[in-house]
């Protein structure tokens, strides 16, 4: 008797499972293609490389203490043509660059504006101060350890100029 009872309940369960399987397999067939993906929040605010700007201004304040809701790392409050701009330069500056960041110093910053918690920040990708240009973010906006722009080439050029015969072209 128990064998026939389990056979009676197995039929409807098998039918339900088969129907569920078809429903799961059929759903993606009618789905639309996903729109082009945009960068997500990741570890910080999203960087929009398509809307990079160049800011020329003067450092009004160097902010080293983290404020809740702002991107982590050093910030520069820079007075420029647009008014006072909060430029996020990140946590990976060399001591030499930090020493050059003085109130009143002229700076040039290439970066993208980003809205975070209701405030605008300039996410700096390149920083020029004291005659030096340093890379703070990759072209995709990911923070990087400071590199002097062109440093990878300057040593090589120096080496070539030492060994190339006079009058030769490189």
In this structure, the chain runs to a length of 170
Residue 13 and residue 92 in one domain: no
Residue 53 and residue 115 in one domain: yes
Does a structural domain hold residue 91?
A: yes
Closest alpha carbon to 38 in 55, 20, 50, 26: 50
Residue 151 and residue 96 in one domain: yes
Closest alpha carbon to 122 in 137, 107, 111, 106: 111
pLDDT per residue over 127-136, tens digit each?
999 999 999 9
Residue 7 and residue 78 in one domain: no
Provide the residue range defining the domain that includes 15.
Answer: 1-30
Residue 84 and residue 139 in one domain: yes
Cα–Cα distance measured from residue 120 to residue 123, given in angstroms and rounded to the nearest whole number: 9
DSSP string, 76-132: EEEEETTEEEEEEEES---HHHHHH--TT-EEEEEEEEEEETTEEEEEEEEEEETTE
pLDDT per residue over 61-84, tens digit each?
999 988 887 788 899 999 999 899
Residue 69 and residue 144 in one domain: yes
The strand pairing partners of 110, in sequence order, are: 54, 126
Residue 55 and residue 127 in one domain: yes
CATH number of residue 128's parent domain: 2.40.50.140
Q: By CB neighbour count within 10 A (0-12 exposed, 13-18 middle, 19+ buried), where does 136 fall?
A: buried
Does a structural domain hold residue 146?
A: yes
Tokens 């990741």 -> residue: 42
Residue 92 and residue 10 in one domain: no
Encoded tokens for 79: 């007075």
Residue 119 and residue 147 in one domain: yes
In the structure, what pLDDT confidence band is assigned to residue 13 with cuts at 50, 70 and 90? confident
In the structure, what pLDDT confidence band is assigned to residue 47 with cuts at 50, 70 and 90? confident
- Does the predicted model carry a pTM greater than 0.75? no
Does a structural domain hold residue 162?
A: no
Tell me the average pLDDT across 97-114: 96
Taking every pair of Cα atoms in the chain, the longest distance, rounded to a whole number of angstroms, is 104
Cα–Cα distance measured from residue 52 to residue 122, given in angstroms and rounded to the nearest whole number: 9
Does a structural domain hold residue 113?
A: yes
Residue 85 and residue 128 in one domain: yes
Residue 80 and residue 142 in one domain: yes
In the structure, what pLDDT confidence band is assigned to residue 15 with cuts at 50, 70 and 90? low
Residue 3 and residue 71 in one domain: no
Does a structural domain hold residue 160?
A: no
Q: Report pLDDT for 39.
A: 40
Looking at per-residue pLDDT, the higher value among 87 and 5 belongs to 87
How many structural domains are present in the chain?
2
């Amino acid at each position: 008797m128990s064998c026939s009872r389990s056979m009676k309940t197995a039929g409807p369960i098998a039918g339900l499972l088969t129907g569920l399987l078809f429903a799961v397999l059929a759903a993606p067939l009618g789905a639309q293609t996903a729109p082009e993906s945009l960068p997500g929040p990741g570890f910080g605010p999203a960087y929009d490389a398509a809307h990079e700007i160049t800011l020329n201004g003067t450092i009004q304040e160097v902010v080293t203490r983290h404020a809740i809701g702002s991107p982590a790392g050093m910030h520069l409050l820079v007075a420029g043509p647009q008014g006072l701009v909060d430029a996020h330069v990140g946590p990976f500056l060399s001591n030499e660059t930090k020493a050059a960041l003085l109130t009143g110093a002229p700076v040039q910053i290439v970066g993208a504006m980003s809205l975070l918690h209701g405030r605008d920040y300039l996410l700096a990708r390149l920083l020029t101060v004291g005659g030096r240009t340093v890379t703070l973010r990759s072209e995709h906006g990911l923070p990087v350890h400071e590199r002097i722009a062109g440093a990878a080439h300057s040593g090589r050029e120096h080496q070539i100029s030492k060994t190339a015969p006079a009058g030769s072209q490189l």
